Amino acid sequence: MKFPKLVNRLCPFCRKHTQHKISQNKRQAASSLSRGSKYRARKRGVARGTGNLGRYSKPAVTKFKRTGAKETKKTDLRYTCQECKKSHTQRKGIRSKKFELK
């Protein structure tokens, strides 16, 4: 999916349509101590009790498969107003395998 770099959108700060610059938000790597990671760790029989007890270095059990994993990712765009230079995010992400700013 190709997207233009500049679009006319409503700026919530200026309250009018202005030219916006689109930039993609870079996804940050998930923390090894996050909740989702703890869930998966529990599936392989670690992360019981408090603290990690140094048990995160064990290899993952390959039997456990995450179901419902999607092939596509939702876009996470930032719109920067060219007049006031403030930025806001998109309301709904669009699913696409490949995203490109043109």
Residues that bind Zn ion (CB under 5 A): 11, 13-14, 81, 83-84
**Dist. CA 69–CA 64, nearest whole Å:** 13
Shortest gap between Cβ of 87 and Zn ion (angstroms)? Answer: 9
Closest to 37 (Cα-Cα) out of 47, 24, 23, 51:
47
7, 19 contact by CB (below 8 A): yes
Shortest gap between Cβ of 14 and Zn ion (angstroms)? Answer: 3
- Cβ proximity to Zn ion: between 47 and 81 the closer is 81
**Dist. CA 93–CA 84, nearest whole Å:** 24
- Cβ proximity to Zn ion: between 19 and 96 the closer is 19
Shortest gap between Cβ of 75 and Zn ion (angstroms)? Answer: 21
